[in-house]
């Protein structure tokens, strides 16, 4: 492949959106599904992923000094190394950023791995999703929504979009080669259906990983989980989401933008008044305290602010470390059992014993 002048490529893309009939006309086919990002590091990584999706084994980019000043080149090399072998060199033309070996093996081997063989961190949830398959079929154009087909190594996503609101109205999958793929894509479809395209692109994979992870086990990596340190089973949905977003942008002229989307609470939660919500939460929290075997403690729901901010009081003796762990566990389990948007806030517990209070003041 020839060396691609990255800055000129971005300029051509922007020019094509305005002045070229039916949009950008790139020299290489893989650029058909690439959309520049305002963050150059992310934009270059997206370009490399587009090349990988379309079967290009090598990409060579020319980067000028101005762009290098805006890049975190060390981090870019580190992340690009997860896609292929990175080589860099300075030439008279500028800085050459080369990534080769982009075409790897299939995500899953052909012998159809079974769910018990996958990472134990995700096994139990995947086995549950495998028994709730509802989205395994092919969609056709309904003349109202935009149909986009994403495909990676024979596995497909079919998505119908409302282009006025940039929302995914319906999504299905087909062509899975294993039980793992089938469960993964069923979970993905249920999680992203109804979301805006930008939210799917930014957080779809994170939502999937979080939904499938066993939260009683340690995190799979130290630090923050992101698309570059996921378990290998997430490579397939990652490729499909990336391609879905890029094709949507190409066909509609949509451009990546800041994402302020915040999903609303469930309708079941919204239909209750605060008194009903407090009653429900108190019952669940009482059960959780018994389950956690904190028999000397009592948790009291004080009030609810702005529908989802739950203020509680912990009565009893508990260390600050245990208190923090207890708050995290309660919020996590309330998300599972009641409403995923709930936020727990700890109110200070005021001692109502007047004699003890007066003695403490005297001692001070």
Round the average pLDDT of the chain to a whole number and report it.
86
Give pLDDT, residue 107.
38
Residue-wise pLDDT tens digits, 172-197: 999 988 888 999 999 999 999 999 99
Q: What are the φ/ψ torsions at residue 209 (nearest 5 degrees)?
A: -60, -45
Task: Please list, in sequence order, all residues whose beta carbon lies within 8 angstroms of the beta carbon of residue 94, skipping any fewer than 6 positions away.
Answer: 62, 63, 64, 65
Report the C-alpha dihedral over residues 65, 15, 165, 169, rounded to 10 degrees.
-80
The count of structural domains within the chain is 3
Ranked by mean pLDDT, the top range of 52-61, 62-71, 82-91 is 62-71
Cα separation, 168 vs 165, whole angstroms: 9
Task: Compute the average pLDDT of residues 39-61.
Answer: 87
Range of the domain at 231: 115-252
Task: Compute the average pLDDT of residues 68-94.
Answer: 86
Question: Does the pLDDT of residue 21 top 50, yes or no?
Answer: no
Count, residues in the chain: 364
Q: Are residues 219 and 136 in the same domain?
A: yes
Q: Are residues 188 and 218 in the same domain?
A: yes
DSSP type of residue 219: P
Cα separation, 348 vs 286, whole angstroms: 19
Q: Are residues 170 and 230 in the same domain?
A: yes
Question: Does the pLDDT of residue 281 top 80, yes or no?
Answer: yes
Cα 124 to its chain centre, rounded Å, is 20
Question: Does the pLDDT of residue 24 top 60, yes or no?
Answer: no
Question: Does the pLDDT of residue 110 top 50, yes or no?
Answer: no
Q: Are residues 145 and 224 in the same domain?
A: yes
User: Which is more confidently placed, 236 or 130?
Assistant: 236
Task: Compute the average pLDDT of residues 49-68.
Answer: 87
Q: What are the φ/ψ torsions at residue 110 (nearest 5 degrees)?
A: -80, -5
Among 90-104, 174-188, 305-319, where is mean pLDDT lowest?
A: 90-104
Task: Compute the average pLDDT of residues 11-38.
Answer: 70
Among 90-104, 136-150, 278-292, where is mean pLDDT lowest?
A: 90-104
Instruction: Count the neighbouring beta carbons within 10 Å of the beta carbon of residue 248.
Output: 25
Cα separation, 101 vs 107, whole angstroms: 15
Q: Are residues 246 and 271 in the same domain?
A: no
User: pLDDT tier at 59 (50, 70, 90 boundaries)?
Assistant: very high
Query: Domain of 203: which CATH number?
Result: 3.90.1010.10
Task: Compute the average pLDDT of residues 320-343.
Answer: 93
Task: Compute the average pLDDT of residues 333-343.
Answer: 94
Give pLDDT, residue 112.
44
- Whether the CA torsion 14, 198, 222, 53 is positive or negative: it is negative
Contact yes or no for 318/354 (Cβ under 8 A): no
Q: Are residues 148 and 23 in the same domain?
A: no
Give pLDDT, residue 320.
87
Q: Are residues 94 and 133 in the same domain?
A: no
| Neighbouring C-alpha atoms within 13 Å toward the C-beta of 226 | 7
Q: Are residues 141 and 242 in the same domain?
A: yes
């Amino acid at each position: 492949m020839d060396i691609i002048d990255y800055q000129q490529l971005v300029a051509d893309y922007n020019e094509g959106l305005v002045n070229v009939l039916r949009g950008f006309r790139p020299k290489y086919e893989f650029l058909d599904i690439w959309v520049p990002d305002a963050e150059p590091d992310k934009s270059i990584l997206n370009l490399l992923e587009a090349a990988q999706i379309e079967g290009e084994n090598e990409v060579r980019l020319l980067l000028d000094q101005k762009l290098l000043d805006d890049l975190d080149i060390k981090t870019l090399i580190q992340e690009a190394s997860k896609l292929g072998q990175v080589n860099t060199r300075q030439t008279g033309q500028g800085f050459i950023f080369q990534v080769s070996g982009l075409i790897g093996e299939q995500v899953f081997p052909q012998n159809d791995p079974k769910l018990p063989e996958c990472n134990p961190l995700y096994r139990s949830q995947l086995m549950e999703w495998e028994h709730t398959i509802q989205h395994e079929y092919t969609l056709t154009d309904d003349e109202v929504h935009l149909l986009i087909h994403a495909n990676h190594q024979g596995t497909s996503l079919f998505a119908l979009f409302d282009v006025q609101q940039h929302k995914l109205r319906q999504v299905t999958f087909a062509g899975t080669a294993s039980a793992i793929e089938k469960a993964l894509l069923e979970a993905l479809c249920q999680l992203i259906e109804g979301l805006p395209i930008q939210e799917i692109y930014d957080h779809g994979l994170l939502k999937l990983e979080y939904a499938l992870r066993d939260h009683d086990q340690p995190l799979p990596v130290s630090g923050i989980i992101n698309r570059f340190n996921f378990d290998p089973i997430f490579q397939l949905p990652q490729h499909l989401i990336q391609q879905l977003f890029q094709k949507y942008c190409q066909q509609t002229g949509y451009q990546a933008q800041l994402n302020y989307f915040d999903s609303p609470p469930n309708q079941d939660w919204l239909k209750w008044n605060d008194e009903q919500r407090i009653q429900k939460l108190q019952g669940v929290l009482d059960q959780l305290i018994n389950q956690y075997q904190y028999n000397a403690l009592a948790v009291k729901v004080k009030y609810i602010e702005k529908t989802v901010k739950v203020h509680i009081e912990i009565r009893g003796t508990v260390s600050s470390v245990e208190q923090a762990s207890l708050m995290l566990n309660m919020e996590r389990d309330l998300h599972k059992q009641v409403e995923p948007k709930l936020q727990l806030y700890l109110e200070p517990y005021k001692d109502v014993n007047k004699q003890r209070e007066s003695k403490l003041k005297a001692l001070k």
